[in-house]
Amino acid sequence: MTLGVSETQSPDEGLPTDALVETAEAKEIEGRSPGEIAWTRLRRDKIAIISAIVILLIIAVALLAPLIVKLNGFPPDQFNKVDANGNPLLNTRDGGIPIGGLWGSGTSSEHWLGIEPQNGRDIFSRLVYGTRVSLLVALGGTVIAVVLGTVIGMVSGYFGGWVDTLLSRLMDIMLSFPSLLFVMALTPVVASRAQDLFGTPDNNTLRMGVLMFVLGFFGWAYLARIVRGQTLSLREREFVEAARSLGAGPNYVLFRQVLPNLVPTLLVYTTLLLPTNITAEAALSFLGVGIKEPTASWGRMISDASNWIEGNPLYLFFPGMALFITVLAFNLLGDSVRDALDPRAGRS
């Protein structure tokens, strides 16, 4: 293997292992771990940087929602039927469509993105609060799915035998469920179960928990299959054999030796599962089995707005765009992370 291999030519294989050669260039490359190389690659990827910035902004909006809403002064649940001067904002004779604004959406210097027909709630404020629901549910569902998928996949791949057979069949069955249909049907069931279990009424905190649980429960099987495959091959590697011959137990091997090697896969899968779950939450709330009134959620807003598509199309446009931009940013970042960790996949 020659030295001074340029970065673009399969860098993971081009790392000089021959420490005897002492050129400045060699030393510079020598000290970098695969993680560092991926990080450098990611930082050079303009699309990755832009989508990361967008995602950070979205997260900031979610975290700072109360402060941002204070800025425009309309809480998300407040009905605004008249403006500061007492003039009506909604046309009561026309089914409650906002008066004025772009395309009859009621946009003004006070209500930046307009107001809802009928109730006159501020769309900007609801959009900002909807970010919280969207990200929180997606994150919760993703964490549950990744933890379940990793543990079940590792156990299945490492122990083999009847454990593997049993868990693999379970994965097959989970994957052959019609998932959206099943998630949709199961959400109300789990919600009523959870009410009994925790003794709480059917509020939206409970609903969010239920959505996380359901998304997580139906999301782990695919990852488990991938993790199982990787564990199968990692199990046979020399370093695992060495550890076992020194007396390491399965816990040590799984969590100290197999798990660190799974990190790239888990990282890629997590970034790609997040947008899937964001879409799923929106879809469930859109269908009426997810988040309910009065809590703002993008899917719920789209479903409400669809009734006003003729009179007030902008009401539909804003939550739709919010959803689209968020999902796109996560997908772009996910692709970049995958390319950075494994340049052979995807781009070839």
Partner 1 sequence: MGRYLVRRLIQAVFVLIVISAITFFLFWATPANPALLICGRNCNAETVAQVNATYGFDQPLVVQYGHYMQGLVSPGGRTIGSEGNERNCPWPCFGESYQNGIPVWNSIKDAFPSTLWLALGAAVLWLLAGVLLGLIAALRKGRFIDKLSVGLALFGVSFPTIVFGYLLLFLFIVKLKWIPFPDTANAALFTVGPVKWLQFYILPWITLALVFAALYTRITRANMIDTMNEDYIRTARAKGLNERTVVFKHGLRSALTPIVTIFGLDVGGLLGGAVITEQIFSITGLGKFSIDSVLSNDLPAIMGVVLFAAIFVVLANIVVDVLYAVIDPRVRLS
Token readout for 10 is 């399969």
User: Out of 68, 320, 342, 343, which residue is the one contacting partner 1 (CB under 8 A)?
Assistant: 320
Q: Find the part of the chain contacting partner 1 (CB under 8 A) among 69-77, 93-101, 105-113, 172-180.
A: 172-180
Task: For the CB of residue 95, give the shortest distance to partner 1 in the complex, in Å.
Answer: 16
Q: C-beta of 74: minimal distance to partner 1 in Å?
A: 25
316 binds partner 1 (CB under 8 A): yes
DSSP 258-304: IHHHHHHHHHHHHHHHHHHHHHHHHHHHHHTSSS-TTS--HHHHHHH
Of 23-31, 157-165, 173-181, 222-230: span binding partner 1 (CB under 8 A): 173-181
Residue placing its CB nearer to partner 1 in the complex, 37 or 332: 332
Among 34, 66, 100, 346, binds partner 1 (CB under 8 A): 346
Tokens of 208: 């969010």
How far is residue 86's CA from residue 95's CA, in Å, rounded to a whole number? 20
Tell me what percent of the chain is helix, strand and coil, each rounded to the nearest 5: 70, 0, 30
To the nearest whole angstrom, how small is the minimum distance from the Cβ of residue 306 to partner 1?
A: 6
Query: What is the DSSP secondary-structure string of 252-270?
Result: HIIIIIIHHHHHHHHHHHH
* Amino acid of residue 183: V
Q: Is 193 in the site for partner 1 (CB under 8 A)?
A: yes
Q: Are 333 and 340 in contact (CB under 8 A)?
A: no
Q: How far is the CB of 112 from partner 1 (least distance, A)?
A: 21
Please tell me whether residue 166 binds partner 1 under the rule CB under 8 A: no
9 binding partner 1? (CB under 8 A): no
Distance CA 30, CA 110 (A): 58
User: Coil, helix or strand for 346?
Assistant: coil
CB nearer to partner 1: give 36 or 293.
293
Q: Does 10 bind partner 1 (CB under 8 A)?
A: no
Write down the least CB distance from residue 292 to partner 1, Å. 12
Beta-carbon contacts of 269 under 8 Å, excluding residues fewer than 6 positions away, are: 146, 149, 223, 226
Q: Nearest Cα to 96, choosing from 318, 314, 311?
A: 311
133 touches partner 1 (CB under 8 A): no
186 within 8 A of 216, measured Cβ to Cβ: no
Query: Which of residues 21, 67, 180, 263 is near partner 1 by CB under 8 A?
Result: 180
101 CB-near residues (< 8 Å, 6+ apart): 107, 108, 111, 114
The closest of 317, 297, 314 to 104, measured between CA atoms, is 314
Contact letters for partner 1, residues 284-303 (x by CB under 8 A) = --xxxx---------x--x-
Instruction: For residue 310, state whether it binds partner 1 (rule: CB under 8 A).
Output: yes
Of 65-73, 115-123, 139-147, 175-183, which part binds partner 1 (CB under 8 A)?
Answer: 175-183
- Under the binding rule (CB under 8 A), the answer on residue 306 touching partner 1 is yes
Where does this chain bind partner 1 (CB under 8 A)? 172-173, 176-178, 180-182, 184-186, 188-189, 192-193, 195-196, 275, 279, 282-283, 286-289, 299, 302, 306, 309-310, 313, 316, 320-321, 323-324, 327-328, 331-332, 335, 346, 348
